Chain A
Amino acid sequence: MNILLYPIILPFIIGIFCLLTPKKVRETLVIIGSLLTFGLTVWFFFGKIAPDRLPTTGYFRFDSLSSFVLLAIGLFGFLITLYSLKYMAGKNRLREYYTYLLWTIGASSGVVLANNLILLLVFWGFLGLTLYLLIGIGGQRALPAAKKAFIIVGGSDALMLLGIILIWLKAGPETSIFSLPMDGISIPLVGGVAIAAYLCLAIASFAKAGAMPFHTWIPDMAETAPLSVTAFLPASLDKLLGIYLLARISLNLFVMNQAMGLVLLIVGAVTIIAAVMMALVQHDLKRLLGYHAVSQVGYMVLGIGTGNPIGIAGGLFHMLNNVIYKQGLFLAGGAVEKRVGTSDLDKLGGLARVMPITFVTFLIAALSISGIPPFNGFVSKWMIYQGVIEVGAGQGLGARLWIIWLIAAMFGSALTLASFMKLIYAIFLGQRAKELARKRVKEVSWTMWLPMGILAGLCVIFGVFAYRTALKIFILPVVPGVSFLGVWSPGLATLLIIIGLAIGAIIYWLGNLRKSLREDASYVGGEVLPAEVRVTGVDFYNTIKDFALFKVIYKKAEEKLFDIYDLGRNFVFIFTKGLQRIHTGVLTTYFSWILIGLVVLLFLLMR
């Protein structure tokens, strides 16, 4: 059998077994299953499979892009499974949960290995179904979000179907669509059919990855679905796959031109800024992270939209980095929720002491997402900035507006940092909330912190040793011809940062600083702040909401005026209501329809 089928079939089969086995066996089975899949992907990536074992049929393929995404799928699938053992313990419908989890891993592997558009669509669409079922496990409250997610994602799948058929029309309608290999397609973006096909596929990838305006399902589901599901799908796999597809169509299937690049730049820039503005004012940890999951997609789309090697490489590297730190953030957030029982920022605070590992991993991931050197987020953002600057050297509207894209990207980073300051303060620093003060909170068990630790470690390694590890192994083979504009030597910078920190510590320990430092209660106007009016970290950001212009926009956003799902639903229901009104149930009315219909038919045919 074709060895590329193993990472697809293995999780599927083990998933079916999970449905049938009792609890103890099941958990072992799930861990073994995801570990085996991870092992397979590692072997595929580093093992350098002999060419004669690679498939000769046109249905699957294995190149540097798919092997790298496959490896990421294997890793994150395994980490989430490990984390779920404790996180999901005691919840309902675990049998289904693990099965769907494994099926998701299998189908995702299928997406990246497929070399036929229909095959890709089958796996892709199946992922929509597992996403829906996984969100549904969150219970009653998650149901509307599950439905919304599946309508947006499944709806974009339908458009993808249209796009694929348009590609078939363009690339060779004389061959069967089932035997049209993807690696033989290269369509210039000229003419309506090609552009429509590209847009349909781009919409599918936007909906999956969560770029605006198809992002609205992510914050909704983040709030209600089991957190491991959010960390797994929208924060990890859906990003990988969405950007994978965008890269595939932009780099391989189509020959990009400037106009389409401009569309991507606009989508990217708007996504970065709008989502991060929404994130700033959120009250719920999970929903806030959900908006960041949207905002970061903007960078990747922007990177690919630049169309130059450094930008694309930056976009792909950012995809990988984003999955690492975003999953880390979600998992750390989940750890907090597991121990405290709420994700409402107003009810958290002061957890750094009791959950040190969670705090440190969260801090690293937060600094990373905000693009602080020397962590990995900085490196990929730095590459994207370079890509944008290089766009400015070109021609066309996209080039003339290059400064706008650059500002959006940089300002987005600053706002991200701002919202994470709020988050870190509200969860880990400051005073504990009143409800929390009496509760004994302790660190989570190793199966939960180990995945978080691994992710935080990756954040550091991919940042400090970016050139020697991630970029060299994963990214540069995919995008040839990357040349760096500026000089950024992460090793040296790290060294300087560490030296700076060390000097600071020495001053702190040796000098008088320590003695003169005192800890005290919080004061306002000379009065000790009572627990009821404690500063939560959320309130401070409410001022943003009160700016005149923002106030209106936020209000409209809360009324879901910008939500494509609600807009679509309201639009459709206008027609539904109209049609319902004319269906009166009166026989004579129906008769008149029949007769009018017949008369029209006769007129059309006999004239």
Chain B
Amino acid sequence: MNLIPLFIALPLGAAFLLPILRYRNFDKQKTGQANPAVILGKWSKRTPDIVANLINLTLLVLSLMVINRGMLVYKMGGWEPFKGIPIGIYLVLDGLSVLMLLIINSIGFLAALYSVNYMEKYTDKTRYYTLFLLLIAGMNGVVLSGDMFNLFVFLEVAAIASYALVAFGTEAEELEAAFKYQVMGTVASGFILLGIALLYSFSGTLNMADIARIINQQGIQGTVLFVGALFIMGFGLKAAIMPFHAWLPDAHPSAPAPVSAMLSGVLIKAIGVYALVRILFNVLGLGETKSILYILMVLGIISMVAGALLALGQRDFKRLLAYSSISQIGYIVFAFGLGTPLGFLGGLFHLLNHATFKSLLFLNSGAIVYATENRDLEKMGGLLERMPVTGTTATIASMSIAGVPPLSGFWSKLIIIMAAIQAEQFIFALIAVLISIITLAYYLKVQRLAFFGKLGQAWKKTKEVPGLMCASMIILSLLCLGLGILLLPGIKSMILDPAVEVLKNGAQYANLILGE
């Protein structure tokens, strides 16, 4: 059986199923009668939790099942190509998509698990999970889509779900952040759509492989570069690359913690970095174009430096994490900009690692908010004593992101800097190294202010967060400890190498899919 459509169909279906269950629940509350679905009714308070978590667990299992399956192409509706020209909608699963699916669905599962307790304080879990599942469906769609327009549609599904999730708390600050995010996000989407339209007029097709083939035949022309610039701006905004980053420090901290974890850990990578490199390298075939690569490198360095400097000046825990995301995305984009296999490896590995430790840190910040109702670092202190799980996992995540061996972040940073040196970008390599020192500095600041030191009077009665939240943080921290094993030869050839292979092949993508 072909598993590929399930990645989109399952979360999308569940997202629409949940509100239906909710109406049944409303009936009962209004009339107070035992209605026919009494057993369901008894469960109904937990129904959204259970449904959403089961769906996410299934998705995680599915994405583990597709590891190392080689390339799979699913033609929607069984529409075969006509005279070699693809006419149906394609879903394509290759090494890169597998890696992204693993990231999206594992972090998605852990964030949903965390939400069970965390979202108690918000009133409407059904709407929350509906949006959450839409977000997952959109991201899975983006990484699987083999068609430009479908990629755009799924991108918008994910983006709009994320606008709503940022505003979920409906306080003034959250609404403002969501408004800014939406306005800027829409501008980006507009430019992306313009780019797609130009590509369509250029090549007469929307199928990504077909576009790649046509560009291959005709050579890289002005239109392609123009579209490339539009995409760098559009997807760059979704990925929060400087100078297109300004929405992120407002949006990510405002969302509920599990959503922040999804946004910072996964969303900016799935609809930002992934879409950018997939289209630039595989579809537009710009992987060898020096100017594009140089632009990516420079943008990466700018984000890396400015994000880290801004994070250093932050007092608000979640905003600090948000700026840190910009900085880390800078590392990833810089690595891709090197354009060498080692650079791709470093970028993809760092992308994976960043997903784990940044989500974990956002979940930690959520745990602190949950326990103390406070985000200001200067007012915290000594929380390690009262919240050992949160404190320890946060230490592991901070050390990992700061690149302390033997945690996962060290290995990906090692490979990125190796790639930079190999490409003889000595100055950039030095900057990347210096910024990792600053990263260490601001995470040590978090440690010092929040977890160590004297326990503040106000937090004497603080308790550790409930079990499911702890479980999700512990699993993520184990990932931070152990993901370095992905570099062991046997495991590397299963997960990372196929993904690197896809980017290395560049425009060969077309031939692999169209089978020529």
Chain A positions near chain B (C-beta within 8 angstroms): 118, 121-126, 128-129, 132, 136, 140, 143-144, 146-147, 150-151, 154-155, 157-159, 161-162, 165-166, 168-169, 173, 177, 193, 196, 569, 572-573, 575-577, 579-580, 583, 585, 587, 589-591, 593-594, 596-598, 601-602, 604-606
Contact = CB atoms under 8 A, between A and B. Distances in A.
Contacts of A587: 180, 183-184
Interface in B261-313: 291-292, 295, 306, 309-310, 312-313
A217 to B, nearest CB: 12
Contacts of A129: 399, 404
Nearest to A124: B405
B293 to A, nearest CB: 12
A150 B410 CA distance: 16
Nearest to B187: A594
A196 B430 CA distance: 11
Given A126-B405, A575-B309, 5 more contacts: A122-B410, A125-B405, A140-B454, A155-B437, A606-B225
A579 B310 contact: yes
A605 B440 contact: no
Given A162-B417, A162-B430, A169-B422, A125 B410 contact: yes
B459 interface: no
Contacts of B310: 576, 579-580, 583
A166 to B, nearest CB: 6
B147 to A, nearest CB: 25
A572 B448 contact: no
Contacts of B180: 587, 590
Interface stretch (B131-139, B245-253, B504-512): B245-253
A148 to B, nearest CB: 9
Contact of B422 (A122, A126, A162, A173): A173
B10 interface: no
A154 B414 contact: no
23 contacts: A122-B405, A124-B405, A129-B404, A147-B441, A147-B448, A151-B440, A154-B437, A158-B433, A158-B434, A162-B429, A162-B433, A165-B418, A165-B429, A573-B313, A579-B313, A583-B246, A583-B249, A590-B247, A597-B244, A598-B229, A598-B230, A601-B229, A601-B233
A407 B481 CA distance: 51
A159 B437 CA distance: 9
B438 interface: yes
Contacts of A121: 405
- Greatest chain A CB density within 10 A among B187, B426, B452 is at B452
A576 B309 contact: yes
B188 to A, nearest CB: 8
Given A154-B404, A572-B312, A596 B418 contact: no
A11 to B, nearest CB: 16
Contacts of B438: 572
A572 to B, nearest CB: 7
B184 A594 contact: yes
Interface in B451-485: 452-454
A526 B295 CA distance: 83
B34 to A, nearest CB: 51
B452 A143 contact: yes
Nearest to B180: A587
B319 to A, nearest CB: 11
Nearest to B176: A585
Interface string B210-230: 000000000000100110111
B30 to A, nearest CB: 42
A166 B430 CA distance: 11
Given A577-B313, A606-B222, A122 B291 contact: no
Contacts of B246: 583, 589-590, 593-594
Contacts of A589: 246
A605 B230 CA distance: 11
A557 to B, nearest CB: 23
A591 B237 CA distance: 11
Contact of B306 (A144, A579, A590, A606): A579
A166 B421 contact: yes
A594 B404 CA distance: 35
Contact of B229 (A168, A169, A579, A605): A605
A161 B414 contact: yes
B444 A150 contact: yes
A399 B295 CA distance: 49
Contact of B243 (A128, A161, A196, A597): A597
A128 B437 CA distance: 13
- Greatest chain A CB density within 10 A among B232, B236, B441, B447 is at B441
A606 B189 CA distance: 22
Contacts of A154: 402, 404, 437, 440
Contact of B187 (A155, A575, A591): A591
Nearest to B454: A140
A573 B410 contact: no
Closest 8 CB pairs of A and B: A590-B246, A155-B437, A125-B405, A122-B405, A576-B313, A593-B243, A601-B229, A598-B233
A140 B444 contact: no
B330 interface: no
B22 interface: no
Contacts of B399: 129
Given A150-B444, A606-B222, A158 B437 contact: yes
A593 B246 CA distance: 9
B66 to A, nearest CB: 29
A597 B237 CA distance: 11
Contacts of B366: none
A363 B438 CA distance: 43
Contacts of B414: 118, 161, 165
B309 A150 contact: no
Contacts of A576: 309-310, 312-313
Nearest to A594: B244
Nearest to A118: B414
Contacts of A580: 310, 313
A583 B247 CA distance: 11
B250 A585 contact: yes
Given A147-B445, A158-B433, A591 B422 contact: no
- Greatest chain A CB density within 10 A among B232, B237, B413, B444 is at B444
Contacts of B183: 587
Contact of B228 (A166, A597, A605): A605
B436 interface: yes
Nearest to B310: A579
Nearest to B286: A605
A544 to B, nearest CB: 35
A266 to B, nearest CB: 23
Contacts of A579: 306, 309-310, 313
Nearest to B419: A165
A497 to B, nearest CB: 49
A37 to B, nearest CB: 20
Nearest to B413: A161
A126 B406 contact: yes
A158 B309 CA distance: 17
Nearest to A178: B487
B295 A605 contact: yes
B403 interface: yes
A134 to B, nearest CB: 13
A331 to B, nearest CB: 27
A571 B57 CA distance: 48
Contacts of B225: 605-606
B405 A572 contact: no
Contacts of A162: 417, 421, 429-430, 433
B200 interface: no
B232 A601 contact: yes
A158 B403 contact: yes
Contacts of B226: 602, 605-606
A150 B444 CA distance: 8
B227 to A, nearest CB: 10
A508 B472 CA distance: 77
B149 interface: no
Contacts of A591: 184, 187
